Amino acid sequence: MVTALQTPPKTLKVVIATRESRLALWQAEHVKALLETRLGWQVELLGMTTLGDQILDRALSKVGGKGLFVKELETALADGRADLAVHSLKDVPMDLPEGFSLACVLEREDPHDAFVSPNFASLAELPQGAVVGTSSLRRLVLLKALRPDLNIQPLRGNLDTRLRKLDEGQYHAIVLAAAGLKRLKLEARIRHTFLPADMLPAAGQGALGIEVRSDRADLLEALGVLAHQPTWLAVTAERTVSRAMGGSCSMPLAAFITQCSGDEMQLSAAWGDPVMAEAEASEPVSTALPAALVEVRQTAVVNSFASAEALGEAVAAQLRAGGAVWAGNAQVV
């Protein structure tokens, strides 16, 4: 239950709840700078550790659930320790808990996936049976579709930890979000950027959202000036696919606006069999089979949140018609 708080004075002093990884702190500092320069607010950061940060011994698909990186931040909003929270949208469930609202979505950074390797320039150059690190079931399924021979192994930890594990020789290559590398000025580590045709991004990847309590009308109004409407509409369509499919860390699901011309958007989505994806991660390379993929796309005029959600729902329906299974019915081993 969210308790009521008094509206703060006009000259706002606000606290941003944030995870404490270097990337999360960059994101919070980025929003802090926007609030200070564009709105004249006084801003402090409240660093926190989430459940998703604490679970490092197994893939998040094994943990299950949604919002593993946001729940503790929402608790800080609810009890008044913080006024707003900054999230990577791909970590945020489409349906927020009662009492919370997405105040705005900022302009998107590079939404694509990046191939990172000290010795190989691309996925095609990897040797037979090469070890590739990722804990994303979406990336696992898409990688297996491109290279069934690859040995996909779990990769947990923050961005710096993942790069350290690569440099220690635990993997031939790893796949990361290009946005995080670019935000931390590590783009030199990117050997190849996957095109959406090869590695369709996750819903909301590369975009930042600001979450507040629904009863903070002052913040909801003021933060609107930071919103980037084209990004917000695009990620709404993408995230609607995820919601309609029951998307979580345990579902290999991709959704991305692959084309945009005026008000017209093309939304592409891909779904992979969760059981097959997990089985392939543990099977010997010689017996691994390509994961079954359902891939769809649809184009529509999107000029409102309602039309963005309608496009997302239509694409989700296409996925189900093609054999994709809603997460609530899927078995994850």
Q: Residues 269-316: pLDDT tens digits?
A: 999 975 665 454 455 433 444 447 899 999 999 999 999 999 999 999
Tell which residue, 277, 235, 213, has the closest CA to residue 79.
213
Considering the chain, what percentage of its residues have pLDDT values greater than 90? 71
For the cut 80, the answer to whether the pLDDT of residue 44 exceeds it is yes
The pLDDT score that the predictor gives to residue 332 is 32
Residue 31 CB contacts under 8 Å (≥ 6 apart), including other chains: 16, 84, 86, 106, 208, 210, 226
Least confident interval from 30-44, 106-120, 249-263, 270-284: 270-284
Query: What is the bridge-based pairing of β-strands 131-133 and 84-88?
Result: unpaired
Q: Tell me the mean pLDDT in the region 77-88.
A: 95
Residue 321 CB contacts under 8 Å (≥ 6 apart), including other chains: none
Query: Alpha-carbon distance 89 to 92, whole Å?
Result: 5
Angle at 277 between CA 332 and CA 273, to 5 degrees: 70
Largest CA distance in the chain: 66
What is residue 141's DSSP assignment? H
The pLDDT score that the predictor gives to residue 51 is 54
Burial class (CB in 10 A: 0-12, 13-18, 19+), 78: middle
For the cut 80, the answer to whether the pLDDT of residue 224 exceeds it is yes
Q: Tell me the mean pLDDT in the region 18-32.
A: 94
Q: Which residues are bridge partners to 287 per DSSP?
A: none
For the cut 70, the answer to whether the pLDDT of residue 124 exceeds it is yes
- Judge whether 218 counts as a catalytic residue: no
Q: Mapping DSSP to helix (H, G, I), strand (E, B) and coil, where does residue 126 land? A: coil
Q: Helix H segments across the chain?
A: 22-38, 51-54, 60-63, 71-78, 137-146, 159-167, 178-183, 217-222, 229-244, 274-282, 305-321
At 35, list the tokens. Answer: 């609030």
The pLDDT score that the predictor gives to residue 331 is 36
Q: Mapping DSSP to helix (H, G, I), strand (E, B) and coil, where does residue 62 land? A: helix
Domains and CATH numbers, the chain: 13-106+206-227 (3.40.190.10), 112-200 (3.40.190.10), 228-324 (3.30.160.40)
Query: Alpha-carbon distance 201 to 24, whole Å?
Result: 20
Task: Kindly name the residue from 83, 91, 113, 273 that is annotated as catalytic.
Answer: 91
Confidence of residue 100 (pLDDT cuts 50, 70, 90): very high
For the cut 90, the answer to whether the pLDDT of residue 3 exceeds it is no
For the cut 80, the answer to whether the pLDDT of residue 67 exceeds it is no
For the cut 90, the answer to whether the pLDDT of residue 193 exceeds it is yes
The pLDDT score that the predictor gives to residue 156 is 83
Instruction: Report whether 245 contacts 326 (CB < 8 A).
Output: yes
Instruction: Report whether 240 contacts 92 (CB < 8 A).
Output: no
Q: Tell me the mean pLDDT in the region 89-111.
A: 92
The pLDDT score that the predictor gives to residue 135 is 83
The pLDDT score that the predictor gives to residue 300 is 97
The pLDDT score that the predictor gives to residue 70 is 79
Confidence of residue 328 (pLDDT cuts 50, 70, 90): low
